[in-house]
Structure 1
C-alpha cells in the first residue's frame, strides 16, 4: 500500500461550516500557509539520516516547522521518533542538514542552542537530590556564568514556570518524591523556565493516568497559545495529536509517510498502513474529529 499516495488523495471536507473539526483544520491550513508566506521556518530538516551499526534508523527525513506551530510526531514503536528529537537537539550525530532559525544546527554553541531549544525526555527513574524549585532552576543554566547565583530575572522565570505548571505548592518537595505526573510537570516547568522558542517533548503523557494526561495536554496547549512556543511532541496517542496539534508528521521505519493536517491522518486505511493493525474510528461527540476506538468483536 502506497501511503504517500493515500496522503495526497486524502479527501477534504466539503462542508466545513457544519463541522467544527473541519473548520479548525481549514483555519490551520490557512494559518500554516500564512506562516510559509510571511516567515522563514524555525526548523528546516533536509535529508536527515541516522544509522546504527549499518541499520538506518532515520532515512532522508525532510520537513519544515514554522514559528508557533504545534507538530505532533506519531508512528509505531521503532519508527525513529525519539531518535529524530535527539537529532534536533544535537544529542546524536546525523547526516543531512538541520537549520534552526536559518542557521545550521551544527554551528550553534551548546549554551546558545539551549537558549533556543528546550528538550523534555521521557520520564525515567534516575535519582535527583534536588527540590522541585532547584530542579526547575536548572533550566536557567544557559543564562548563568560559572558559579554565579541566579539573578532576579532568573528567579522570576522559575516562579512563572512553577505557576504555569501548577507546581508552586510543590516547590520545596524533593523531586524524587513526586508522582510520575508531577515529575513530568516539573520537567516541563524547567523547559519553560529555560525560555526556549522551541520545545521538544518525547512522549510527555506516556505512563500517566487519565487525569495527568489531561493536565499535561492542557499545559502544553497553554504554552503554545499564550507563550507562542513552537512545539514538537512525540506521542503514541494519535487521538490527542488530532485534538491538540496543528499538524501531524508520521514516521514508519525511519521515513516520513504522512505530513499534514491531523484530520487527514485520521483515516482507517492510512492508520492501518502506518501501524499495520486494524483501526476503528468514531466521531468525537464535541467536535466531530475522528477518534481511534478499540476494536470490538
Structure 2
C-alpha cells in the first residue's frame, strides 16, 4: 500500500479507512483530506456514513487505515494528547441533570488538567472568554436544561472552544434547530474560523446551508467519497441526481453569489 504525502496545509486526513459494525461494512477504503484553517461540511444522503466518518476521524469508533493530524500519526497519540488537539461535539451530547452553563463549559478544560496542574486563573479566563464569544456569558448560572435549543447549542460550542484545540469536529450542530437558529450557530462557526484560525469539520444535512457556510465540501455516497471541493466547483445538477437522487437546478444565490440548490 502506498501512503500519500500529507501536505502541511492538511489538518486531518484518512487513507484507506475501513469501518464495520460486525459483518456490516460502513466505510471501505475511504480516503479524504481536510484543509487546515477552513470550514469543511460533510454532506450526503441519509445512511451514507457521514457521522460514522466523523466518529472514525475522531477515533470514537474503531477503524482500520491511516489517520493523521497535521501530518502526524493520530493513532500514536494518547487520549489526553488527542483531546488537546481535537475537540468533538457529538450529535446529541449529554450532560448531568442540573449542570449549569458555567460548569458545562468548564469541562472543556479537563484535558489540560493533571495531578500536577490543577485549576488555575488561566482556566477561568479561558472559560469566561468562551462564554463571551458564544454569547452565553449572562446565562452562566442557569441550568443547561432551562435554555432554548439555540442557547443550548451555543453553550455546547463554548465547551468545545474551551478545550482550546485548533481542530473542531461537529456532528450535525444544527440538529433540532429552526432555520434562524441554524444560521445563528453557523455564523458562530464561521467566527471561530475567521477570528481564531480554527479548522472546523461538520456534518450537515441542509445543502444550501453547507454551500453558504462551508469553504470546502466532502460529498459522500454510500460508504465512499463522491466528490470534494468548493460548493461552486462540485454542486451540480448531475452530482445531486447521482448522489442524492435529487432532481434539482443549481442557481446563483442572490445574496452571497454561491450555488443555491432548488429542487424541481
Which TM-score band applies after superposition, normalised by the shorter structure?
over 0.9
Matched, 1:190 2:159: yes
Higher deviation after alignment, 163-172 or 52-61: 52-61
Structure 1 CA distance for aligned equivalents of residues 115 and 146 of structure 2: 29
Offset, 1:129? 2.7
The structure 1 residue matched to 2:180, chosen from 211, 225, 231, is 211
Residue of structure 2 aligned with 1:44, choices 3, 6, 13: 13
Matched, 1:229 2:192: no
Q: 1:158-173 to 2 correspondence within 5 Å?
A: 158-173=127-142
Deviations 1:152-189 (A, max 9, x none): 11111101110110000111010111122111111110
* Aligned CA-pair RMSD: 2.0
Matches within 5 A, 1:87-106: 87-106=56-75
Could you list the runs of 5+ residues in structure 2 that have no partner in the other structure? none
In structure 1, the partner of 2:123 is 154
2:231 corresponds in structure 1 to 262
Once the two structures are TM-superposed, the CA of residue 238 in structure 1 deviates from its matched residue by 1.3
The structure having more radius of gyration, on CA atoms, is: 1
TM-score in terms of structure 1 length? 0.82
1:42-88 Cα distance to aligned partner (Å, 9 max, x none): 21210111011222211111122232021110001111111111111
State the Cα deviation string for residues 7-48 of structure 1 (Å, max 9, x = none): xxxxxxxxxxxxxxxxxxxxxxxxxxxxx9983522121011
Partners in 2 of 1:86 and 1:191 — Cα distance?
A: 16
* Paired residues of 1:123 and 1:180 also in contact (CA < 8 A): no
If each structure's helix is expressed as a fraction of its own residues, which one has the higher value? 1
Count how many residue pairs are aligned between Structure 1 and Structure 2.
260
Sort the Cα spacing of 1:276 and 1:115 in 2 relative to 1 into closer, same or farther, 3 A.
Answer: same
> Are 2:24 and 1:62 equivalent residues in the alignment?
no
> Relative to structure 1, is the Cα distance of residues 283 and 253 closer, same or farther in structure 2, using a 3 angstrom cutoff?
same
The answer as to 2:47 corresponding to 1:78 is yes
- Would the aligned equivalents of 2:14 and 2:32 in 1 still touch at CA under 8 Å? yes
Deviations 1:183-205 (A, max 9, x none): 11111100111111100001111
- Cα distance, 1:150 vs. partner? 2.0
Aligned twin of 2:99: 130
Q: Structure 1: give runs of 5+ residues left out of the alignment.
A: 1-35
Q: Which of 227, 250, 259 does residue 219 from structure 2 map onto?
A: 250
Distance, in Å, in 1 between the alignment partners of 2:8 and 2:31 is 18
Helix, strand or coil at the partner of 1:292? strand
Distance 1:184 1:259 in 2: 28
Structure 1 or 2: more strand by fraction: 2
Secondary structure at 2:10 match in 1: coil
Q: Does 1:179 align with 2:179?
A: no
**1:290 CA drift (Å):** 2.2
Taking the aligned partners of 1:48 and 1:242, their CA distance within structure 2 comes to: 26
1:18 corresponds to which residue?
none
Residue 270 (structure 1) shift:
0.8
CA distance, structure 1, for counterparts of residue 6 and residue 27 of structure 2:
29
1:280 shift after superposition: 3.3
